[in-house]
Chain A
Amino acid sequence: MFGYVTLRPGAVSEEDFKRYRAFYCGLCNTLNTGFGITSSLTLSYDITFVIMLLNSLYEGGEGKAQIRCLPHPLHLHSAIICEATKYCAAMNIALSYHKLLDDVRDEKSVKARAALLFLNGAYKKARSMYPKKCEAIERGLSRLCELERENCKDIDALINSFGNIMADIISYHDDDMFAPALKSLGLGLGGFVYMMDAYEDFDKDQREGCFNPLTELHQRNDYEDKVNDIMTMLMGECAEAFEYLPLQLDVGILRSVIYDGVWEKYDIIRTREKRNRQTFSML
């Protein structure tokens, strides 16, 4: 994923932040021990959110440990592992793996090919654990690539293509009482991530002649407003589904991510652009 689904620094209490961090450490630890050390290439806070969400919903018990790790060998710190950790680790590997496959195919990226070699073993393991989910991720990303290759102008189709992948991942049990709400949450969140990635990379994609779903929209005078509108609609759907769930544990952290944290990158980009524009207009 793309580093958008996170907490804003200072947004929650120190205690809450430590807990959030502990789930992240637990994820890292699970990747290393369960899937091989190179799989921690895929480590991100985004999937940590999903772990905490599923843990809050299903409350299947948490294992806490004090660990040392390679990047932080001097201090012991807390790691929390729960039932969702292994699942989310596998899903993240699958997502990264198939994304890299597509990068190799489309952009012939050498970096991607190298990264793939590292992830091969980890992906094999993930696929043996969750074959159906991995297949769904593969199909979903394939479909998205196809749409992008055809220069698809239907922004809903593009957004939902990625959103549906997230919907599949987040609905841990496909058919329980909360599956529809989790799918809706995933659809909105995934759609937002897709839009944010497109928004952030717009200039770079233009320069390099790469596909960007916002190309048509960018020609409008109200581009910024429209983008904000769409992303708000997507988070609106995500939040509505979130509020349907009977969550209690860590609800403050999860809400902070959904209502505030996801906009951090967006705010940084907007502030930088305004500053650049102001500088230019004063020259």
Chain B
Amino acid sequence: MNDPYKVLGVSPNASDDEVKRAYRQLAKKYHPDANPGDRHAEQRMKEINAAYDAIINKKTTAGQSAYGGYGGGYGSYGGYRSGRAGYESGDNSYVEAALNYIAYRRYAEALNVLQNVPTSEKNARWYYASALANAGMNNRVTAKQQAERAVSMDPTNPDYRDLLDRLNNPSATYSRQRGTYSTSVNPTSICFGLCLCSLISRLCCRGGCYRGW
């Protein structure tokens, strides 16, 4: 592909906003609705879309996002091309098969295959594969639980930790951004404050006196 920054006419240091502005300007010009039947415009639009996706996808969850239709499937786990979902010796053949399915984004089949493993044989790798498949199906609660399980069963494995980090990434990014909206009240800090106050007042009122309130 051509240099996506050149296609959009922005510098490689351009901010998200600049990239988006450039995209919108070009899209107005080359959109098929504005150029019906124009093959050249259609081709340009494809390049512009691809360039946008290449730049903006890189800036969200480290390349995991696949919204552009170039990775297909919606949700961040559309494409597990990165991450070494490779095979390890001692891999149960069901887990092997599941990881294969996952590489081709066939998450439902992967989950099906994993069901064949009896509970007593569910090792860290099984939980890892299951977490990947569930993430692909947008079963985020289960995926996170299973990734945590894999990490706790084998804390030294970097793949498992990596997966858990990626699963937590959107929440972490979101919470950081949310924190900049200072109108929101933090219930945890209120709770701590109130608990502290009630503890102190209980200690002070040991003698059974009724202070004030």
A263 touches B (CB below 8 Å): yes
Which of B20, B75, B138, B172 is in CB contact (< 8 Å) with A246? Answer: B20
Are the C-beta atoms of B187 and A156 separated by less than 8 Å?
no
B57 touches A (CB below 8 Å): yes
A180 touches B (CB below 8 Å): yes
Are the C-beta atoms of A256 and B68 separated by less than 8 Å?
no
A233 touches B (CB below 8 Å): yes
Are the C-beta atoms of B24 and A180 separated by less than 8 Å?
no
* A residues in contact with B57, CB < 8 Å: 244
Which of A240, A243, A274, A275 is in CB contact (< 8 Å) with B76? Answer: A240
**Known A180-B67, A184-B67: A232·B138 in contact at CB below 8 Å:** no
Task: Report the bound CA distance from A278 to B195 in whole Å.
Answer: 7
Are the C-beta atoms of A244 and B184 separated by less than 8 Å?
no
From A167, A237, A248, residue with most partner B Cβ within 10 Å: A237
Are the C-beta atoms of A239 and B174 separated by less than 8 Å?
yes
Task: Report the bound CA distance from A230 to B138 in whole Å.
Answer: 12
Task: Report the bound CA distance from A278 to B187 in whole Å.
Answer: 13
Residue of B nearest to A278 (CB): B194
Which of B65, B68, B75 is in CB contact (< 8 Å) with A187? Answer: B75
Q: Which of B36-44, B117-125, B149-157, B175-183 is found at the contact surface with chain A?
A: B175-183
B61 touches A (CB below 8 Å): yes
Proximity bits, A51-66, B CB within 8 Å = 1, else 0: 0000000010000000
Task: Report the bound CA distance from A238 to B33 in whole Å.
Answer: 29
Are the C-beta atoms of B191 and A236 separated by less than 8 Å?
no
B171 touches A (CB below 8 Å): yes
**Known A244-B67, A246-B20: A184·B75 in contact at CB below 8 Å:** yes
**Known A248-B20, A271-B187: A178·B67 in contact at CB below 8 Å:** yes
* A residues in contact with B174, CB < 8 Å: 232, 235-236, 239-240, 259
The dominant DSSP class at the B interface is helix
* A residues in contact with B144, CB < 8 Å: 233
Residue of B nearest to A226 (CB): B141
Which of A230, A235, A256, A270 is in CB contact (< 8 Å) with B181? Answer: A256
Are the C-beta atoms of A239 and B68 separated by less than 8 Å?
no
Are the C-beta atoms of A11 and B23 separated by less than 8 Å?
no
* A residues in contact with B74, CB < 8 Å: 167, 179-181, 183-184, 187, 241
Are the C-beta atoms of B170 and A237 separated by less than 8 Å?
yes
* B residues in contact with A235, CB < 8 Å: 174
B81 touches A (CB below 8 Å): no
Task: Report the bound CA distance from A260 to B17 in whole Å.
Answer: 21
The dominant DSSP class at the A interface is helix
* A residues in contact with B134, CB < 8 Å: 156
Are the C-beta atoms of A230 and B141 separated by less than 8 Å?
yes
Interfacial residues of chain A within 263-283, with CB under 8 A of chain B in the complex:
263, 267, 270-271, 274-275, 277-278, 281-282
Task: Report the bound CA distance from A156 to B139 in whole Å.
Answer: 5
Which of B17, B66, B75, B198 is in CB contact (< 8 Å) with A237? Answer: B75
Residue of B nearest to A177 (CB): B49
* A residues in contact with B75, CB < 8 Å: 184, 187, 237
10 additional contacts, CB 8 Å, given A156-B142, A259-B181, A282-B201?
Answer: A156-B137, A156-B141, A160-B139, A230-B141, A243-B16, A244-B57, A248-B17, A248-B20, A260-B183, A278-B197
* A-B pairs with beta carbons under 8 Å apart, 26 shown: A156-B137, A157-B139, A177-B49, A177-B69, A179-B69, A180-B67, A180-B73, A181-B67, A181-B74, A184-B67, A184-B74, A187-B74, A230-B141, A232-B174, A233-B171, A236-B174, A239-B173, A240-B60, A240-B61, A246-B27, A247-B20, A259-B181, A260-B183, A274-B187, A275-B194, A282-B213
Chain B contact residues, CB within 8 Å of chain A: 16-17, 19-21, 23-24, 27, 49, 52-53, 56-57, 60-61, 65-69, 72-76, 78, 134, 137-142, 144, 169-175, 177-178, 180-181, 183-185, 187, 190-191, 194-195, 197-198, 201, 213
